[in-house]
A and B are shown apart, each in its own frame.
Chain A
Amino acid sequence: MEMTERHQHGEHAEGKATYFYVWGALIVLTVVEIYLAYNRVFPNPLHMLEVLLALSVVKSVLIIGWFMHLKGETIVMKWVLMGSLVMCLLLMFVFFVDAERILKLGTGR
């Protein structure tokens, strides 16, 4: 019953205030993204893409960890789910190198 009790109460033990803090952080990060994009702080689209992706990863950690309660799950659960997801998504990054290479084709760079 111990495991059940933990799942029923332990992983949701945070008060409501915590969820509102997470919500506030997500809103602030979204505003930062809008500011960066609208003011073209990084003129190079690749750099802008990297920064926006990094901010999106931070937001996704907040959503997965707190809203989806993954941080309250077992270590095995965390590793199986996030390990396989990150591995698969990282494999897709291989294509970005090719995307940048296409821009330089025939330019002698």
Chain B
Amino acid sequence: MADAVVHHPSEAGAFEPPFLGAYSKKIGMWLFLLSDSLTFGALLFAYSYGRIATTNWPTPFGQHSIINASVMTACLLSSSVTMVLAVLAAGRHDRPWARNWLIATMIFGTAFIVLHAWEWNGLRAEGMTLSIFPAIPHAEATEMGKQASAVPQFAGTFFALTGMHMLHVTIGVIYLGVLAFGRKWLPVMALAAIGTFFIPAWSTFHWLTYPIIGAIVVIGIILWLKPKQYDAPDIEVGGLYWHFVDLVWMFIFPLVYLMSTRIT
């Protein structure tokens, strides 16, 4: 069977089965993304079902929300280009440029998270919220909030879907940070966790503390068990995850935002 295996240049002597014609890390990531796409698929279908089956479905997203979501979309689309450039740079063993493009991708990803969390804060302050969310001080229910509250499944599906996606983007930025900086990324994450922890507990930004702390624990264990310099295949596999996050947003943006556009 020795002639029927794939040698990977970065792992001389490593034998991998030729099933699907790719190295195992890449196949593993594709299979994970396949399962994750079913999770998002179920959420998107639930949202779309409610949208079609409810005659008085709220249309609370005005010009401001659509512009905000469009900028978020542009951030994610641009981050995909910088991610591809990182993969290309890693493929030609240009480590400094691979890192630079990874940093650019992380900046776009962070901008997306900030815009999204900021939007969540705004929507919750206007009265579009869930009972499990802490109340925002000085919040005042507007017409938009009242309209959104009239159909409870709107806020439920909106926050579940976009929250799940925001979590994926947050994990993606952390993942790319590990690929770019290795264990040097851990203290940066610790600082980020401390910073978000001291933001008032009602703010969406405060909630970012918990995935970051979880990630510090997981990444700390991984880097302790298997410290390594991440190479081109690792960056390519990380890129697959990042593009998937972008791909999911390509469905969330039209179905959630554009299908609930308020015409004034």
Contact = CB atoms under 8 A, between A and B. Distances in A.
Interface of A: 1, 3-4, 7-9, 12, 16, 19-20, 23, 26-27, 30, 33-34, 36-38, 40, 45-46, 48-49, 52-53, 55-56, 59-60, 63-64, 67-69, 73-74, 76-77, 80-81, 84-85, 88-89, 92-93, 95-96, 98-100, 102-103
B73 A4 contact: no
B34 A84 contact: yes
Interface in B176-215: none
Interface residues of B, number: 55
B247 A55 contact: no
B251 interface: yes
Contacts of B240: 68
Interface string B79-106: 0110111011001000000000000000
B1 interface: no
A63 B259 contact: no
B181 to A, nearest CB: 23
11 contacts: A4-B8, A7-B6, A8-B91, A23-B81, A38-B263, A46-B52, A49-B51, A52-B259, A59-B250, A84-B34, A93-B45
Nearest to B29: A68
Determine chain B's interface SS by DSSP, over half rule: helix
Interface stretch (B36-44, B128-136, B162-170): B36-44
A49 B244 CA distance: 22
Nearest to A94: B45
B219 interface: no
Interface string B213-232: 00000000000000000001
A80 B20 CA distance: 8
Contact of B84 (A52, A67, A100): A67
Contacts of B85: 16, 19
B66 interface: yes
B2 interface: no
Contacts of A100: 52-53
Contacts of A8: 9, 91, 232
A49 B7 contact: no
B250 A96 contact: no
Contacts of A9: 91
Nearest to A66: B84
Given A1-B7, A55-B254, A56-B254, A23 B21 contact: no
